[in-house]
Structure formats: C-alpha cells, structure tokens
Amino acid sequence: MSRFFTEVARVFPDQYLHLGGDEVDFDCWKSNPNITCFMQKIGISSFEQLEEHYIQRLLEIVRTLGKSYVVWQEVFDNNVKIAPDTVVHVWKPPHNEELALATSAGYKALLSACWYLDHISYGSDWKKYYACDPHDF
C-alpha cells in the first residue's frame, strides 16, 4: 500500500486522499484463510479490529506523504480509532445526525448525502438537492 499511495500522491497533487472504508463486508475476510492467518499472526481476534488496523495503517502511510485524508462515515460509525485531523465523509441519512456526531467528536466533516447523483430520477427530484441545508445540524 505504501508504494501505491506514493504513486497516487505523485500523480495527483491534491492535498486530500479519500481512503474509502464504506460497506466493508466481513464475510469476504472470513472466507479467506490468508486473512485469518494474518490476523492470528499479528494478534487480532475480530474483524472489527482488522478494519481498525487497516485504516490506521492507511492513515500512517498517507500522513508520511504529507497528505490529508478523508474516510467514509462507516469508519467513524464503526468506532475505528482515527486521527483527529481525519475528515469524515457523510453520505448516508440521517445526515444531520451524522454531521452532528462527527463534528461534536472534533472531526471535520464533508457532506454528500443529499446529492447522491446515481439515485437521480430525472424529474422533480432536483428540488431536494436545493432543500438540503448542510448547516442544519
């Protein structure tokens, strides 16, 4: 991952890198004997701990490259220990509650929940995009 993110940082000059972390399906990890062997090797007993290990490692890599990082709200919702300067990207409802939780925990937050463009239905739904108030939390 270090080599990958070094290349990403070189190719893309942006300050922020989105590290993902949404919709993690532990069944995939459970079914992979290499993953369970790795967990035993480093003393991790749950897939929640593995998720935290992975995210923390990504944050370390990106930090050493002088970049900032964004993670999906599930990382925060799953109580993964993240650095105080992590940006939490809120994409699921109830977005006002999620924004309040993330910001009250001291994190910066990015909102895209109201503008989920691949759920567009072409018609009067455009009104909801203007009705969303990112300050209303």
pLDDT tens digits, 13-67: 999 999 999 988 899 999 999 999 999 999 999 999 999 999 999 999 999 999 9
Q: Which residue segment(s) compose the domain that 70 sits in?
A: 2-131
Length of the chain: 137
Residue 17 lies in a domain: yes
Residue 114 lies in a domain: yes
What pLDDT, in 10s, does the model give residues 64-109? 999 999 999 999 999 999 999 999 999 988 999 999 999 999 999 9
Count of the separate structural domains present in the chain: 1
74 in catalytic set: no
Q: Shortest CA distance to 63 belongs to which of 89, 88, 85, 90?
A: 85
User: Which pTM does this prediction carry?
Assistant: 0.86
> Would you state the pLDDT for residue 107?
98
User: Token pair of 125, please?
Assistant: 């739904």
Residue 42 lies in a domain: yes
Residue 137 lies in a domain: no
Which domain CATH number covers 6?
3.20.20.80
Residue 81 lies in a domain: yes
Angstrom distance (rounded) from CA 52 to CA 40: 15
Residue 136 lies in a domain: no
Determine contact, residues 88/110, Cβ cutoff 8 Å. yes
Residue 74 lies in a domain: yes
Q: What one-letter code names the amino acid at 7?
A: E
Given 23, 51, 52, 60, the catalytic residue: 23
Residue 20 lies in a domain: yes
